[in-house]
Amino acid sequence: MEIIEYSKSYLENVKTLLVELEEFVLTIDKDNLDKIDADYRDKYTKKALKEIKNNCGKCYLAVDNDSVVGLIMGIIPKYNKWDYLDYKCPKRGIITEFVVSKHVRGKGIGKALIETIESYFKEQKCEYVLVDVFAYNQNAIDFYTKYNYHTRMLTKIKSLKEKKENK
């Protein structure tokens, strides 16, 4: 297995992995808010790759026997003048997408990918790495904790739909 930088020849593989990630999220979404639109595969991948291009980002792929088995995407966004009103704004990298195919998890691929993106962020003089983790994804939470990530902010959610009473 090797980690390589994204090239267009792997576009379909990237689309497949991003769909696999979203399909997984659907299975654990207790709020039932996620969905996969008919255009998700093409449009979301295009959006994710454009975000990388526009924000000093990278996409790395884990390739095993010419098959893409994992990916990690990260960006280094710029701050705007409003950010400085209440924040010191150290340079930070943000992991935007991270998935290892369900068929090969537990083989060190995630570790190799996260180490690669962290090395890139260090080379770019980032002081921090941020990542949003779906609260219902306990495996991901445990993974990031293992690599010394911690919670800085929490998002709370409450449904405002009326619950139907069983009669």
Q: Is residue 92 part of a domain?
A: yes
Q: Is residue 85 part of a domain?
A: yes
Res 163: pLDDT: 72
Q: Is residue 19 part of a domain?
A: yes
Q: Quote the distance between the C-alpha of residue 1 and its chain's center.
A: 21
pTM: 0.89
Helical H segments across 29-134, by residue range: 40-54, 109-123
CATH of the domain at 82: 3.40.630.30
Q: Is residue 20 part of a domain?
A: yes
Q: Is residue 54 part of a domain?
A: yes
Mean pLDDT for the chain overall: 92
Structural domain count, the chain? 1
**Mean pLDDT calculated for residue range 101-120:** 95
Per-residue confidence band for 166, with pLDDT thresholds at 50, 70 and 90: low
Res 87: pLDDT: 73
Higher-pLDDT residue of 122, 156: 122
Per-residue confidence band for 83, with pLDDT thresholds at 50, 70 and 90: confident
Residue with tokens 């088995």: 69
Res 81: pLDDT: 78
- Examine the pLDDT at 167 and tell me if it is beyond 60: no
Res 161: pLDDT: 82
Q: Say if CB 100 and CB 69 are below 8 A apart.
A: yes
- Output DSSP code: residue 166: P
Residue 21, helix vs strand vs coil? helix
What span, in angstroms and rounded, lies between the C-alpha atoms of 111 and 68?
16
What span, in angstroms and rounded, lies between the C-alpha atoms of 108 and 89?
32
pLDDT (tens digit per residue) in 49-79: 999 999 999 999 999 988 999 999 999 998 8
**Range of the structural domain that residue 75 is part of:** 2-146
Q: Is residue 80 part of a domain?
A: yes
Q: Nearest Cα to 117, choosing from 98, 136, 142, 145?
A: 98
Q: Is residue 160 part of a domain?
A: no
Residue 106, helix vs strand vs coil? coil
Res 25: pLDDT: 94
Q: Is residue 51 part of a domain?
A: yes
